[in-house]
Structure 1
Amino acid sequence: MGLISLLWGIVAVLWMIAALIPFLGWGNWFMIPFAAIGAVIAAIGLLFTRSEHNARAKAGLWLNGIAILVGVVRLGLGGGFI
Structure 2
Amino acid sequence: MKKASLVMGILAIFGMLFGFIPCLGAFNWINIPFAMIGLVISIVAYVQEDNLPKGNATAGIIMCSAAAIFGFLRLIVGGGIV
Give distance in 2, aligned partners of 1:24 and 1:49.
Answer: 38
1:10-58 deviation line (CA, Å, top 9, x unaligned)? 0010011111001100100000000000000000001111255111000
Give distance in 2, aligned partners of 1:44 and 1:51.
Answer: 15
**Runs of 5+ consecutive residues of structure 2 not aligned to the other structure:** none
Give distance in 2, aligned partners of 1:42 and 1:17.
Answer: 20
- The residue type paired with residue 6 of structure 1 is L
User: Which residue does 1:15 correspond to in 2?
Assistant: 15
User: Which residue does 1:66 correspond to in 2?
Assistant: 66
Aligned CA RMSD, in angstroms, stands at 1.0
TM-score scaled to structure 2, two decimals? 0.95
TM-score scaled to structure 1, two decimals? 0.95
Tell me the matched-pair count. Answer: 82
Q: Percent identity?
A: 38
- The residue type paired with residue 19 of structure 1 is G
The residue correspondences of 1:1-82 to structure 2 (distance < 5 A) are 1-50=1-50, 52-82=52-82
Segments of 4+ in structure 1 off by > 4 A? none
